[in-house]
Structure 1
Amino acid sequence: MNADTATGESLRDRKRRQTRERIAEAAFTLFDERGFGEVTVDDIAALAEVGRTTFFRYFGDKEEVVFAQESDTLRELESGDGPALPDLAAALAESRRLVVALCAEARHAAYARLVDKHPELADRHARKLRRYGDRLEQHLLARGTPRSAAVLASQIALACYRTAWRLAGDDADALAREADAAFDAVAEAGPAELS
C-alpha cells in the first residue's frame, strides 16, 4: 500500500495541497518581512516559485491567503464525529479543546499579528469569527448537545477567543495560553456567578 492509498489522497491532490501551502508560506513570510500593504501577488508568486496564474488558481487575492487557512481544527467542526455532548459542561469542554487548539497553531499567531497590524483585515476577521461560531454551534448540535447549550457554549467560546486576542496584545504566541485561561475563568465563576 503506498502513502497515497493509506491517506486517501491522490498524487494530484497532494501536489495541489503542497502548492497551496507553498504559496501561503511565501505570503506569510513576505507579510512578516515587509508588511501586508507592501507585498504584491507577483511577489508572493515569485517567492513560491509559481506563476501568477497558478496563484489565482488557489487564491482570489492576497487577502484571501491570510484567511484561507482551513486548519485541521476547523475541518474537525465539519464532522459530527466523536462522543455525545449531552449538556453545557460537555459542550464547553469540547469548545475549549477546539479553540485552544486553533490558537496554538503555528500560523494562527502570524494571522493574529497581521490582523492586528492591518485594519483593512479586521472586518473580514470579524466575519470569519462569526462563521466559526456558527460552525461550532452546528458541530455541538451534531454531537447531541441541546440547542440552548450549543448556542451558549459557542458564544462563550467566542468570548474566550476574543478575550485571549485582547489580552495577548502584541504577543500573538500567547493566544492559546490566554484562551485556556479565559475558559478557566468561566469554569471558576461557576453557575452561581453566571446567573
Structure 2
Amino acid sequence: MTDEREIISRREERKRRTRERLLDAGRTLFSERGFDQTTIDDIVAAAHVSRGTFFNYFDNKDAVLAALHRVHMDKLPAIIDDLLARELTTAERIQALFDDVVDAAVTLEKYFRATTRELDRDLATPAISAARTERFIVAFGRVLEAGVARGEVRVDYPLRFLSQMVTAVYVTTIRYWRQDTVFDMELEFERAAAFIAEAIAPPENGDPSGPKGGSGPDGGSEG
C-alpha cells in the first residue's frame, strides 16, 4: 500500500515541476519577445499547461516576472561566496559584480529589461523595496567587510553606510540604463564601479581611522 506521505511528496513534486515549466516558459519568452509582447496564453502554450493551471500558480504575468527576479536574487549569496573565494581585490570584486550586469544586458537585453522592471516597481512598493534593498546591502557588505580586513576599505564610515552607498549606485545605474535608450551601459557601469572603488578606499592621508573629535558619519559627535 502506498504511504500517504509518499503520495503527498509526489503531488508536491508535480506542482514544483509545473511551476518550473511556467517559469522556464516565461524566461524564454521574455528573452525572445520582451515582457510587453508576451501574453499569458503564450506562456501556457510554451509550458504545455492550461490557463486554469497557470492561475493556480500565478495571479498574472507580473507575478511570473517577480518570481524570476527572486530566483536571481536568491543566487546573489552564492555569487558573493565565489568572489570572496577568489584572490581579488575589493575593487575587482565590485567590478565583477558590475560586469555581470553588463554581460546580462548585452547578451539577454530583453530579458534583463524585463526582470529589472522589478526595481522600478519597488518605488511603488516600499515594503518589497526595503526587503530587496536589504539583500543588496548585505551582499555588498560582505565584500566590503572582507576588504576592511585587507586594508582596502576605509573605516572612518560605518560599514553599513558604505554598503548602502554601493547599493544606491548599483541600483540607480541600472534604473538609469532602463530609462535612457542611448545609455552606454558598459562605459557607465565601468565609471560607476571606478567611482565606488575611489569612494570606499582608505583616505589618502594615511589615517584610516578617520577624523578625530569631529562629527561622525552618522551625524553624531565623536570623541
Question: TM-score, structure 1 length as denominator?
Answer: 0.57
Q: Is 1:159 aligned to residue 169 of structure 2?
A: yes
Deviation at 1:125, TM superposition (A): 4.2
CA deviation map 1:17-70 (0-9, x unaligned): 34421233235545x3xx72x754234323443211332344331112333324
Deviations 1:156-181 (A, max 9, x none): 23314413542572157x54553232
Query: For residues 66 and 29 of structure 1, what CA distance do their matches in structure 2 show?
Result: 14
The residue aligned with 1:3 is none
Which structure shows the bigger proportion of residues in helix conformation? 1
Q: Equivalent residue for 1:170? A: 181
* Cα offset, 1:99, TM superposition: 4.0
Give the corresponding residue for 1:23.
Answer: 26
Structure with bigger gyration radius = 2
* 2:96 paired residue number: 97
Task: Name which of structure 1's ranges 177-186 and 107-116 shifts more when overlaid on structure 2.
Answer: 107-116
Aligned length: 170
Aligned residue for 2:49? 50
Instruction: Report the equivalent of 1:124.
Output: 121
* AA partner of residue 105 (structure 1): A
Compared with structure 1, are the counterparts of its residues 18 and 44 closer, same or farther at alpha carbon in structure 2 (3 Å cutoff)? closer
Q: Which amino acid aligns with 1:22?
A: A
Give aligned-pair identity as a percent.
22
How far, CA to CA, are the matches of 1:103 and 1:69 in structure 2?
18
Relative distance call for 1:78 and 1:95 in structure 2 (3 A) is same
Pairs within 5 Å for 1:1-195: 16-27=19-30, 29-30=32-33, 32=34, 36=36, 40-70=39-69, 74-78=73-77, 81=81, 83=84, 90=90, 93-105=92-104, 109-111=109-111, 113-114=113-114, 123-126=120-123, 130-141=130-141, 145=145, 148-166=158-176, 169-170=180-181, 174-175=184-185, 177-188=187-198, 191=203
SS of equivalent to 2:49: coil
Distance 1:159 1:144 in 2: 15
2:152 maps to which residue? none
Distance 1:176 1:74, change over 3 A: farther
> C-alpha deviations, 1:127-175, integer Å up to 9, x for none?
5665443112223556782892244134323314413542572157x54
The one-letter code of the counterpart of 1:49 is H
What secondary structure, in the 3-state scheme, does the structure 2 residue paired with 1:105 have? Answer: helix
Distance 1:182 1:113 in 2: 19
Aligned-residue CA RMSD (Å): 4.4
| Unaligned residue ranges in structure 1 (runs of 5+) | 1-10
Contact kept, 8 Å, 2:137 with 2:167, in 1: the verdict is no
